[in-house]
Structure 1
């Protein structure tokens, strides 16, 4: 019997120490594709993804860099999307932040190699310019119950700080029960000073992350458009849900518009991952939500997004856990216990 699935591709921050060796461990049969990525890296005088993945030691200073993390995450995530069992019918593809680039390749709007060119180019540009930074802060408690008043309060504080002299701060990603905020150092520090520490770790700065999805990235977007031609983009084979919750349908995509969104709005405006997941649930009603590797941290944001949307009547963490225990519908391929549910 066929199982329908929405595939969700992760963004930055998902290739960490436990993921070292992911390509070789899970995808030894896809080395030919990885070597084609290595050739693209070689042309840019960059270390190959297979060499980075097979290193004996993981260091945050190296592996959190945009020009290292992005290509590794792309290779791992795309290979996972290609490895799904035959009985899984992928009805739509989406992703978080950089995961949108991977979604384009997973859905066929970019070839594997052209998708790699997009990811490697943008990851390198982000690292070279490293404009601003990011932090994460939750607006829900441990129970995940929606708290729109708290969210509004936090966003009002962001707007207040952004209006202050010398401060840049904006919503970067709407990520389930979390707000990812981005700005310059003054803006980030002002937010950290204005909000209490919660759950013993937030507000949390993200290492080597620029002010993604804000107007501060306009120079990166412009350089990306200059280096990546519209001719790379084509009609997808599967529907894609972008960072606004818009669906791009096969046979009805304007490649120019897709290029323009990907290297324009997607880079410089807030990314609404929550809305993308809720659109996926509402419009495609899949049996499974499959989060490709590497890592498994995005699973929580997917679950929170579904709870915030009251999907299948669940409105908090306990209700999600009960439904998930009864019949697992959220599968993170970065977790060995769940990976086995969706690969041959």
Structure 2
């Protein structure tokens, strides 16, 4: 029997369940996980919300419906959790879990700090709570060139500009998520308008306002944090079964993690302060040296940020997009369950 490979699992966040993913939960998981999907549906039904089955089975994808936080969050969690449960454990030994932004709530369940059912409860509640915030949103800016090399000085120039704008009366602006080759900045409308007007030229795409996104991972989300702590009790949390790496790069270990502290981080710092996704990936690979990084669905849009995080530390000699693509062709380190040819390698 072939020895198992070690793997870390990275849970995706908002924006990953799109038109191409409509119907994927029923298609990939309907029969094997019918009872679990029924549990998720019952949770939604009890709150007077359309069920996962109804939303995934819609005749067409609606940006106005499926991209809304209270819909996107449960769909993404369901796809992620069921993909995770589909991993062939005779092939892969999962040694750590992490996620991007909202994916942290999935990581809590993947890591065993909460049950799969309670993970859905948390993600579903946070989908609603994410809409409880002051006015504002997020803007995505690219800071790496086409070969995924950071442009010298650009990141610092942008962050200096953010600090200068935030110091102006009535302007809120801050780093929201660090995606290695991209930065997500968040703030109120005055702060975002100033950023768009004054940002230096960036490579690739123009600065992109993320549709339907609030000023996540900033103090403007205080209402969301307060609502989460009032609604989601610490009793849902236990010690994880496998280590979890959060948005600071902190490792929540199996025997030393305090469930109350995990709860406080998840509904405090995780909501109100920047999420350093790149650092979480870098810490995880340095600490656990996995043979593979598994990206569950839905979609596979997080793959570039994972690769750029690896390139940022020269992981296993990869220092460019060219290096990464060559590695993927010969001995793939990143396996995306949103790609049929790679999914088969993971699920058997």
TM range (shorter): over 0.9
Q: What is the DSSP-based 3-state SS (H/G/I as helix, E as strand, rest coil) of the residue aligned with 2:177?
A: strand
Q: Verify: 1:77 aligned to 2:80, yes or no.
A: yes
Please report how far the alpha carbon of residue 271 of structure 1 lies from its aligned counterpart in structure 2 after TM superposition.
0.3
Alignment of 1:107-256 (within 5 A): 107-129=111-133, 131-147=135-151, 149-195=153-199, 198=202, 201-256=205-260
Whether 1:60 aligns to 2:41 is no
In the alignment, is residue 25 of structure 1 matched against residue 27 of structure 2?
yes
C-alpha deviation, 1:195, in angstroms: 2.3
**Do the aligned residues in 1 keep the contact of 2:143 with 2:202 (CA within 8 Å)?**
no
Deviations 1:93-115 (A, max 9, x none): 00000000000001111111111
Deviations 1:143-165 (A, max 9, x none): 11134521111100111111122
TM-score w.r.t. length of structure 1: 0.97
Q: Which runs of 5+ in 1 are unaligned?
A: none
Q: 1:131 to 1:101 in 2, by over 3 A?
A: farther
What do the CA deviations read for 1:30-87 (whole angstroms, capped 9, x no partner)?
A: 1211110111111111000111001111011111100000000000000001100121
User: Is 2:329 the counterpart of 1:329?
Assistant: no
CA deviations over 1:141-195 (Å, ceiling 9, x no partner): 1111134521111100111111122211100000121001111111111111112
Contact 1:38 1:50 in 2 (8 A): yes
* TM-score for the superposition, normalised by structure 2: 0.96
**Deviation by residue 1:107-154 (Cα, 9 ceiling, x = unmatched):** 111111111111111110222546420110011111111345211111
Name the SS for the 2:214 alignment partner. coil
Per the alignment, residue 8 of structure 2 pairs with 6
CA contact (8 A) 1:278 1:305 kept: yes
Cα distance in 1 for residues equivalent to 2:194 and 2:27: 43
Q: Which residue of 1 aligns with 2:296?
A: 292
> Does structure 1 conserve the Cα–Cα contact (< 8 Å) formed by 2:146 and 2:204?
no
The one of 335, 338, 341 aligned to 2:345: 341
Q: Partners in 2 of 1:258 and 1:202 — Cα distance?
A: 37
1:301 is aligned, of 284, 300, 305, to 305
d(CA) in 2 for partners of 1:184 and 1:23?
35
- The answer to whether structure 1 residue 50 and structure 2 residue 53 are counterparts is yes
Conserved 8 A contact 2:105-2:119: yes
Unaligned runs of 5+ in 2: none
> In the alignment, what sits opposite 1:37?
40
Task: Please name the residue that 1:101 is paired with.
Answer: 105
Give secondary structure in 2 for the equivalent of 1:127: coil
2:71 & 2:315 partners in 1: Cα distance? 36
Using the alignment, how far apart are the partners of 1:329 and 1:193 within structure 2? 40
1:147 and 1:78 mapped to 2: Cα distance? 36
C-alpha distance in structure 2 between counterparts of 1:40 and 1:165, whole Å: 43
Q: CA contact under 8 A between 2:162 and 2:174: conserved in structure 1? A: yes
State which of 307, 311, 316 in structure 2 corresponds to 1:312.
Answer: 316
